[in-house]
A and B are shown apart, each in its own frame.
Chain A
Amino acid sequence: MRNRFFRTEGFRLSALFAAVFALSFVILGGFVLVITNQALRDQILAFSATDIAAIRDGYAHEGVHEAREVINQLMAAPASSGFYLLQQDGKVLDGNLPAMSPRAGTLEISASDHQILGTGAFLAPGLYVFSGSNTTRLNAVQSHLLNVMMGLFAAALLLAVAGGALVSRGFLRRTDAMATACRDIMNGNLKLRIPVRGTGDELDRLAEAINAMLSRIAALMENLSQVSNDIAHDLRTPVTHLRHRLERAQADSKTLGDHRAALEAAIAKADEILGLFAALLRIAQIEGGARRAAFAALDLGALLIQMRELFEPVAEEAGHTLELTNPETLTIRGDRQLLVQLLSNLIENAIVHTPQGTRIRLSLARDHDRAVVRVSDDGPGVPQEEHERLFRRLYRREASRSQPGYGLGLALAAAVAELHGADISIVEGPGLVVEISFPLPSASL
C-alpha cells in the first residue's frame, strides 16, 4: 500500500509541484536577500557621505579645529554607531579608529570582530577623513530575514506535500474503485459498471467511456450467446425432423420412386436448415456493424418503386394488391442490398401472413429530419402485446407456424434498421403497419 501510494500519478504530480515551488522560492528568497543587503549598504554609505559633507563643511569654514569639533559632536550624538577618523599625514587627530592608509571613496575595513563600511575623503592634501558604520546590524537584519523566509518555506512545502498526498489519496481511491469494478466484471459480474461521480472530470469521462464500451461488449456477447442458443435449440428441431424422415424412408420405401421422393424431401429439409443457418449468421454479422463501410447515397423513393415492381406480380398471384403511394425522392446513406432484404422481408410477411384480398401499401414521407417508410396492410393485424416479441429471433406466431419461414424476417429487418440508425416499430392502425424511420443526412454533412 505504502509503495503503491508513492507510485501514484497524483503523488508524482504533487512531488513535482513541490519541487518547482521550492526552486522558485529559493530563487525569490535569494533576490530578496541581495536586494535588502544592497539597500542597507546604500543607506550606510548615504549616512557616511552626509557625515563627510558636514566635516568638510566645518573644515572649509573654520579649519581643522572645526572639523574635529564636528567629529566629536557626531561621536557624542545619542545612539551613534558611527566610526570616525581624522588623520594628518598618517597621524590620528581625532576619532575612534586607528590610523590607516588613506584612500578616497567607498571602503570596507576589517576590525577584530566586525566589518566597517564607510567613505573616505581628503579634506586637503595629507588631511584624511573617514566615516563609516558597523555592518553587524546589516548582517543581523539579513539573518533575521533569512529565518523568516526559511520558516515560510518550510510551512509552504509542508502544505504542498500534504495537499499532494490528499489529492493522490483521492485519485488512488477512485482508480482503485475503477480497478476493483473491472476485476469484478472480469470475474463474471457483467452487469456491474464503473462508478461515476457526476462531476464530469477526466476520471468520470474515462469511466463513462469504459462503461459505454462495457455496454457494447455486453450487447455483443448477449447477441453471440443468443445466436449460439438459437443454433443449439432451434436447429435441433429441423435436424431431428430430417433424421426421422430418413429413418422412415429407410423403413417404408419400397419402390425406386419412394426412395427418390424421400431423398428429395430430405434435400429440401437440409436446404431449409442451411437457410436458417445462413439467416442467423447474417443477422449476427449485420448486428456486428461491419457493413457500415459499404454505405452509399441511396434514393428511398426509387428503391420503393423497384420493390413494388418486384413484388406486385407476386402479391397479385397470392390474391393481394400491392400499392405504392406517391413516393418522394428522399436520399439517405445506406447499404442497398440490406435495405432490399429488409423491405422484401416486410412485404413478404404481408403477402404470406394475410388472407386473400388484402391490400398492401408502401409509402414514403418526410417527417422533419427523418424519412419514414411504411409497409402496411389491411389484414387482421397483430395484437398489441405481441408487437415487441415480433422482432425477436425465431419468434413465430401460433397462427403462422404452418407457413414457411424461420421467424427471422423481422429480426433481420430490425438488425438492418439499427445498422442504419433507423427506428423500426409497429404502429397503431387497422391491420399491421410497420414503420421505419431513417435519419436524413443533415445539409451540413
Chain B
Amino acid sequence: MKILLIEDDPETAAHIVYALDGAGHDVTVCHDGLEGLEAARAGGHAALIVDRMLPGLDGLSLVRKLRDEANTIPALFLTTMSGLDDRVEGLQAGGDDYLVKPFAFPELLARVQAITRRGNAPSSEPVRLCAGDLEIDLIRRTVQRAGKAIDLQAQEFRLLEYLMRNMGRVVTRTMLLENVWDLHFDPRTNIVETHLSRLRGKVDRGFGSELIHTVRGSGYILRAE
C-alpha cells in the first residue's frame, strides 16, 4: 500500500518508515506541510499519516484543506501526548483517527489498516455481519453461532460488533478501549482482557473452532478459518 507520511522530525519519520516498510508498505515522506499538501493533492496514495505540528502548514489545516477540496484520502493524525483535546480537534478537522506519540509500531500498523479499510467499506450500513458460522444482527442486537442464539450484554455486543467490523484485521488494546468503551487513558486493570475472555467464553467455548485470536505483542483478531 502506498502511504504518504508528513512528519518534520527526521528520527520519528525514519522509525515510521521502518515500521511501515517492514509491513510491506511503500512510504513517501514529506518534511514540510506545504510540500505534503502538494503531494497529497497529486494523489496516488492509499493513506495519509500527518503530524499535527509541521513547518509551512500545520497538520490540522492541511487535512481541512484536503477535505474542503473533497479529497477523502484516509488520514491518521500523529499528536504529542499532552494534548487532551487533540483527538476531538483532529476528528473535527476531517481526520479518520489519531495516534498519540510515542506509540508502539503494532499500534500504528493496526490503525493504518483500520482507516484504509474504512475507506473501502460499502456505502450502505450493513444490517448483519457474519464470520464463519457466527452471525450478528445489528438492528435486533442478536447474536447466533451455528444456529444457536447467544445472549450477550450490551458491552459484550459492542465489543463483538467492533471485532466483526474489523474482521481479519488486528485491533489493538488501545483501539478497543477507545472505540468500544470510549476510554482515552491506559487503565491499570486488565479491562480489555477480562471482557474479551468473557466474550470468548460465550462465543467460542463449546464450538468447534475459535474465532477470536490473540496476536502476541499486538492485540486481537477475529478471523473465520
Quick one: given A274-B102, A340-B183, A344-B185, are A311 and B84 in contact (CB under 8 Å)? no
Contact A281 B191 (CB under 8 A): no
Chain A CB count within 10 A is highest, among B84, B100, B155, B182, for B84
CB-CB under 8 A from B102, the residues of chain A are 274
The interface on chain A, measured as residues whose beta carbon lies within 8 A of the other chain's beta carbons, has a size of 29
Q: State whether the Cβ of A266 lies closer than 8 Å to any Cβ in chain B.
A: no
Alpha-carbon gap, A216 to B157, bound state (A)? 47
Shortest B195–chain A CB gap in Å is 6
Contact A282 B84 (CB under 8 A): yes
Contact B188 A405 (CB under 8 A): yes
CB-CB under 8 A from B190, the residues of chain A are 314, 317
CB-CB under 8 A from B120, the residues of chain A are none
Contact B187 A348 (CB under 8 A): yes
Quick one: given A294-B85, A344-B183, are A313 and B195 in contact (CB under 8 Å)? yes
CB-CB under 8 A from B188, the residues of chain A are 348, 352, 404-405, 409
Contacting A352 at CB < 8 Å: which of B81, B85, B100, B189? Answer: B189
Shortest B193–chain A CB gap in Å is 9
Alpha-carbon gap, A275 to B81, bound state (A)? 10
Tell me the dominant secondary structure on chain A's binding face: helix
Mask: chain A, 216-227; 1 = CB below 8 Å from B; 0 = not: 000000000000
Q: State whether the Cβ of B213 lies closer than 8 Å to any Cβ in chain A.
A: no
Contact A313 B194 (CB under 8 A): yes
Q: State whether the Cβ of A337 lies closer than 8 Å to any Cβ in chain B.
A: yes
Alpha-carbon gap, A340 to B185, bound state (A)? 10
Quick one: given A281-B82, A309-B155, are A275 and B186 in contact (CB under 8 Å)? yes
CB-CB under 8 A from B194, the residues of chain A are 313-314, 317
Contacting A282 at CB < 8 Å: which of B82, B154, B181, B182? Answer: B82
Q: State whether the Cβ of A310 lies closer than 8 Å to any Cβ in chain B.
A: yes
Q: State whether the Cβ of A291 lies closer than 8 Å to any Cβ in chain B.
A: yes
Q: State whether the Cβ of A433 lies closer than 8 Å to any Cβ in chain B.
A: no
Alpha-carbon gap, A317 to B201, bound state (A)? 14
Quick one: given A337-B184, A341-B185, A344-B183, are A277 and B81 in contact (CB under 8 Å)? yes
Alpha-carbon gap, A274 to B80, bound state (A)? 12
Closest to B196 in A: A313
Q: State whether the Cβ of A278 lies closer than 8 Å to any Cβ in chain B.
A: yes
Shortest B79–chain A CB gap in Å is 12
Mask: chain B, 72-89; 1 = CB below 8 Å from A; 0 = not: 000000000110110010
Contact A314 B191 (CB under 8 A): yes
Closest to B100 in A: A278
Contacting B187 at CB < 8 Å: which of A278, A285, A337, A344? Answer: A344
Q: State whether the Cβ of B153 lies closer than 8 Å to any Cβ in chain A.
A: yes
Q: State whether the Cβ of B15 lies closer than 8 Å to any Cβ in chain A.
A: no
Closest to A403 in B: B188
Q: State whether the Cβ of A351 lies closer than 8 Å to any Cβ in chain B.
A: yes
Contact A310 B155 (CB under 8 A): yes
Mask: chain A, 405-431; 1 = CB below 8 Å from B; 0 = not: 100010000000000000000000000
Closest to A280 in B: B82
Chain A CB count within 10 A is highest, among B186, B187, B195, for B187
Alpha-carbon gap, A382 to B191, bound state (A)? 26
Alpha-carbon gap, A289 to B38, bound state (A)? 38
Alpha-carbon gap, A348 to B194, bound state (A)? 14
Alpha-carbon gap, A275 to B186, bound state (A)? 8
Question: Please, could you name 30 A-B residue pairs with CB atoms under 8 Å apart, sorted by A?
Answer: A271-B104, A274-B81, A274-B102, A277-B81, A278-B82, A281-B82, A282-B185, A285-B82, A286-B84, A291-B85, A309-B155, A310-B181, A310-B183, A310-B191, A311-B189, A311-B191, A313-B194, A313-B195, A314-B191, A317-B194, A317-B197, A337-B184, A340-B183, A341-B183, A341-B184, A344-B187, A348-B189, A352-B188, A405-B188, A409-B188
